[in-house]
Structure 1
Amino acid sequence: MEKIDAFLAEASSLAWGMPLLILLMGGGTFLMLFSRLIPFRMMRHSIGILQGKYQDPNAAGQITPFQAMASALASTIGMGNISGVAVGIAMGGPGVLFWMWVSAFVGMATKFFTCTLSIMYRGKNELGKVEGGPMYMVTEGLGQKWKPLSILFAFAGLFGTLPLFQANQLTQIITDVVLKPSGVVGPDTFVSNLFMGIAMALLVSIIMFGGLKRIASVASKLVPFMVVIYTVSVLFIIFYNFSAVPGMFALIFEDAFTGNAVMGGAVMQVIIMGARRASFSNEAGIGTAAMMHGESQNNEPVREGLVAMWEPFIDTIIVCTMTGLAILVTGVWETNEGNGVSMTAAAFGAAMPSVGKYLLVLCVFIFAFTSLFSYCYYGSKCFTYLFGFKYRRLYDYFYILTIVIGAVVTITSVINLVDTAFALMAIPTMTCALLLSPKVLAATRDYLGRLRRGEVERF
């Protein structure tokens, strides 16, 4: 196991080197400037799109733009915000939050371009149904000679969208908050983690192979409720410790350019950690959201990009900031030895000793399971692109098996594997976005012209 951990750590370090940082952050900055900030100037119009004022009921696709955004956010808001931010602060210090903000603003432009392209260059699967995503953006937009990039994305996507992180963090918080305090388990938690992994796998199996629609419908109603509970809880922690907030913001900005808090002055490592955690949280430039938006019922590509660009803002600028502040103002980032969700649980417990940790357990449970289904959808699209629908069921079995694996392996191994896969997914996604950016800008100018002339129909 130690050799595997070392290999994954080395792979992650190599993948997230300076070239990828330039591709993601530099590429996103280029897209933002190349568009002359048009996406940001059209925010009011994008709200109208979200409200359904421009939704053509006869447009191609399976879901509305709002549903596409909500579905994409379902896989990020939750575990990425609850655990991902804590991992970033534990490994890189408070300054990581600043570079997450930078990545998010840059990521808004990236999401605009990639999700616009997901509608512009949709393809058809072997069943003849319209599908979108980086796999099709590459071949339909750049041509068949670029297909190796499509294959790279789909292959990396098989691993980047596995449920390892969700299973690991759900197991960890149940162990830390429920099992250990009650004396059910001791220091060695392998057996209990294994049983929890098997239980999760069985539950997910029942949902995946049985009444998915009915249970997913219940889950879709529970998630907004959980978001409200989590948001109110975090805001309570922040306002309860409000006097510490200005000092924490000062610490975030100071550490962002010094890296002294955790990294011993390694500022570049703080920047890389911020980019990694932001990418994991909002997935800008990675390409998973483009797979969801490619299914949107929309014949105006620019509209899809305008909807998608809100995701990094909501996910990272708002939700991740709240979680980060809760961890910082309670001081658990300095005293807590845990990583990931354990640190967030410690913050909840410090501010709300009686109920805090249990509220977080409830939120994590719901968020983890709903994101499991979003990730299964992403992974199955990658699998069927590579191997076709004939062996589709094999992927489901593999996916369920990795839930058990995720429950028993270390959080470090999980993070390194997912980060490596995300890095590989970013290469074709960003390459496609940069090479096809003139096409997006031309479509944007055409759409803006029609909008000014009153030629864009409202419904």
Structure 2
Amino acid sequence: MGDIIVAFANWIWGTPMLILLMGGGLILLVHSGFIPFRKIGHSISLLRGKYDDDLAPGQITSFQALSAAIAATVGLGNISGVAIAISMGGPGAIFWMWVSAFVGMATKFYSCSLAIMFRGKDSSGEIQGGPMYVIEQGMGKKWKFLSVIFCVAGILGLLSIFQANQLSAVFRAVMLEPAGVESTETVRWIIGVTMMVIVAGVILGGIQRIATVASKLVPFMVALYFGSVLIIVFKYIGEVPDMLVKIVTDAFTGNAVAGGVVGAVIITGARRAAFSNEAGIGTAPMVHGASKNNEPIREGLIAMLGPFIDTVVVCTLTALVIMLTGVWQDSEVDGVRMTLNAFEVALPSVGKYLLMIAVLIFALSTMFTYSYYGHKCFNYLFGADKANYYNYFYLLTIVAGAVVSLEVVISLVDGLYAIMAIPTMISTIYLAPKVKAAAKDYFERMKAQ
């Protein structure tokens, strides 16, 4: 079964998926008139809450929505996902992650604007947003099969098995193995059950509790991780320019990949960027669709900051730490253990503990938000009265994630993300003219004020 999952993920992440995500994102970037570059200042003003309206329909503020979305994206994709990208595609994969992030900003602008523009109601009458509602409300009932495909893939793809797997791995490497405790299956089960209990305490409180916890955790976790990483980067500051040059040159030579295949580097970068910032996958529109905002364009402008923060800033810093310390050339380790080795080399005795705390917060914050995404997919398919059953299924899979192998986990998530991207990108491109018209109207009104 594991081999089938790995083979499926490698097949679906071929050239067609690359064209859909990066090509589709590039079309949206041009179609928008390069809004991610021109309007980033206005996005930051919006994020500060300058235009918040507590009376607008929705459940959370735009800042809480972005915090929850970043809690899901700025996570282990930035710590172990970057390490996996470098080990599979070499430093050049980071360049293609950057490219994916910039086109991903346009994708998020469109998809999250649509999430407000075409909100629907669940069976209990609660206002909801997300690609499934965008498809049904914006494209019509005849396209509902795309909503069903998205939600089925979301229920399985938005489990936090990857986070559970990597959190378990770093805890064993930092706390248990140095103390002589072997990583037996029993130990993994104990770690998994502990994580499940912690996550249950937050997610059973619904989106308000998830968003409240995320908006408090995200600034702290970003500060802790940024602080640690910047100390390491300044320690090796003289070598940083060479590493940045290496990222760019290797992107077009593929020297670090077996056979020197540039295509393999591009696919690796796009695949890891999609996992890291989720642009085009359809997760962020679900949480942004719940924000108290009557202005679709405002929500899109706030949402587009996500890929920039996530990939251009955080992933680059992680990549520099891995490259500056030289651990990326060790083929014996991958995922979070590679990043762990980098922290240990750069900050002996304390580095691994700092990373463990960051991983703990990153993983838990992602687990909280993913439960909301899967809950919404389940709600759409089976009704609001049955949606809470999903939480119990979700919690049980955390235990499973702590036990199974990394390769199977990452391939399962990658494969299902690709399936989710198909209806998300189709609906976003199909409805893009409506967003452009709304953007023109919005910016004209802003000038008039």
What's the Cα RMSD here?
Answer: 1.8
Q: Does 1:141 align with 2:138?
A: yes
Name the counterpart of 1:127.
124
How far apart are 1:101 and its partner, in Å?
A: 0.2
Give the stretch that moved more between structures: 275-284 or 189-198: 189-198
Name the counterpart of 2:384.
389
Q: Does 1:399 align with 2:394?
A: yes
1:15 to 12, 15, 23: 12
Q: Does 1:173 align with 2:136?
A: no
Unaligned runs of 5+ in 2: none
Name the counterpart of 2:371.
376
Q: Does 1:435 align with 2:430?
A: yes
1:262 to 257, 277, 282: 257
Name the counterpart of 2:313.
318
2:21 to 7, 21, 24: 24
2:270 to 275, 282, 285: 275
Tell me, yes or no, if the aligned pair for 2:254 and 2:261 is still in contact at 8 Å. yes
1:65 to 58, 62, 65: 62
Quote the Cα distance in structure 2 between the aligned partners of 1:244 and 1:326.
11
Tell me, yes or no, if the aligned pair for 1:336 and 1:343 is still in contact at 8 Å. no
Name the counterpart of 2:188.
193
How far apart are 1:254 and its partner, in Å?
A: 1.8
Tell me, yes or no, if the aligned pair for 2:35 and 2:106 is still in contact at 8 Å. no
Q: Does 1:351 align with 2:352?
A: no
SS of the residue aligned with 1:252?
Answer: helix
User: Counterpart amino acid of 1:412?
Assistant: E
Tell me, yes or no, if the aligned pair for 1:73 and 1:311 is still in contact at 8 Å. yes
Quote the Cα distance in structure 1 between the aligned partners of 2:35 and 2:195.
45
1:40 to 33, 37, 46: 37
How far apart are 1:205 and its partner, in Å?
A: 3.1
Name the counterpart of 1:228.
223
User: Counterpart amino acid of 2:410?
Assistant: I
2:3 to 2, 6, 10: 6
Tell me, yes or no, if the aligned pair for 1:50 and 1:65 is still in contact at 8 Å. yes
Give the stretch that moved more between structures: 246-255 or 273-282: 246-255
Q: Does 1:104 align with 2:118?
A: no
1:304 to 295, 299, 306: 299
With the length of structure 1 as denominator, give the TM-score of the two structures: 0.94
Q: Does 1:93 align with 2:72?
A: no
Quote the Cα distance in structure 2 between the aligned partners of 1:122 and 1:217.
22
Tell me, yes or no, if the aligned pair for 1:219 and 1:366 is still in contact at 8 Å. no
1:184-206 CA distances to partner (integer Å, 9 max, x unpaired)?
Answer: 11xx6323212211222233334
1:334-372 CA distances to partner (integer Å, 9 max, x unpaired)?
Answer: 126211110110000000111000111111112211211
1:100-144 CA distances to partner (integer Å, 9 max, x unpaired)?
Answer: 000000001101100110011000100011100000000100000
1:64-105 CA distances to partner (integer Å, 9 max, x unpaired)?
Answer: 212211110011112121111111111111111000000000
The 1:224–1:52 alpha-carbon spacing in structure 2 relative to 1, beyond 3 Å, is closer
Quote the Cα distance in structure 1 between the aligned partners of 2:80 and 2:125.
39
Give the stretch that moved more between structures: 239-248 or 7-16: 239-248
Quote the Cα distance in structure 1 between the aligned partners of 2:428 and 2:237.
41
Tell me, yes or no, if the aligned pair for 1:348 and 1:360 is still in contact at 8 Å. yes
Q: Does 1:333 align with 2:328?
A: yes
Name the counterpart of 2:74.
77
Quote the Cα distance in structure 1 between the aligned partners of 2:160 and 2:361.
14
2:199 to 187, 204, 209: 204
Quote the Cα distance in structure 1 between the aligned partners of 2:29 and 2:380.
31
The 1:218–1:52 alpha-carbon spacing in structure 2 relative to 1, beyond 3 Å, is closer
SS of the residue aligned with 2:178?
Answer: coil
1:279-301 CA distances to partner (integer Å, 9 max, x unpaired)?
Answer: 11111011100001101111111
Tell me, yes or no, if the aligned pair for 2:217 and 2:365 is still in contact at 8 Å. no
The 1:348–1:101 alpha-carbon spacing in structure 2 relative to 1, beyond 3 Å, is same
How far apart are 1:211 and its partner, in Å?
A: 11
Q: Does 1:244 align with 2:244?
A: no
User: Counterpart amino acid of 1:86?
Assistant: A
The 1:326–1:388 alpha-carbon spacing in structure 2 relative to 1, beyond 3 Å, is same
Quote the Cα distance in structure 2 between the aligned partners of 1:57 and 1:206.
27
Unaligned runs of 5+ in 1: 455-459
Give the stretch that moved more between structures: 239-248 or 283-292: 239-248
User: Counterpart amino acid of 2:329?
Assistant: E
Quote the Cα distance in structure 1 between the aligned partners of 2:93 and 2:202.
37
Tell me, yes or no, if the aligned pair for 1:383 and 1:392 is still in contact at 8 Å. yes
User: Counterpart amino acid of 1:378?
Assistant: Y
1:261-320 CA distances to partner (integer Å, 9 max, x unpaired)?
Answer: 133312111111111111111110111000011011111111111111111001100000
How far apart are 1:46 and its partner, in Å?
A: 1.8
Tell me, yes or no, if the aligned pair for 2:67 and 2:218 is still in contact at 8 Å. no
| Identical-residue share of aligned pairs (%) | 56
User: Counterpart amino acid of 1:251?
Assistant: K
Quote the Cα distance in structure 2 between the aligned partners of 1:267 and 1:190.
39
Q: Does 1:285 align with 2:280?
A: yes
The 1:448–1:212 alpha-carbon spacing in structure 2 relative to 1, beyond 3 Å, is closer
1:150 to 126, 147, 150: 147
SS of the residue aligned with 1:75?
Answer: helix
User: Counterpart amino acid of 2:44?
Assistant: I
Tell me, yes or no, if the aligned pair for 2:206 and 2:372 is still in contact at 8 Å. no
SS of the residue aligned with 1:408?
Answer: coil
Name the counterpart of 1:457.
none
Tell me, yes or no, if the aligned pair for 1:286 and 1:423 is still in contact at 8 Å. yes
Quote the Cα distance in structure 1 between the aligned partners of 2:322 and 2:346.
10
How far apart are 1:384 and its partner, in Å?
A: 1.1
Quote the Cα distance in structure 1 between the aligned partners of 2:305 and 2:175.
36
Tell me, yes or no, if the aligned pair for 2:116 and 2:299 is still in contact at 8 Å. yes
How far apart are 1:56 and its partner, in Å?
A: 2.5
2:418 to 407, 419, 423: 423
User: Counterpart amino acid of 2:356?
Assistant: V
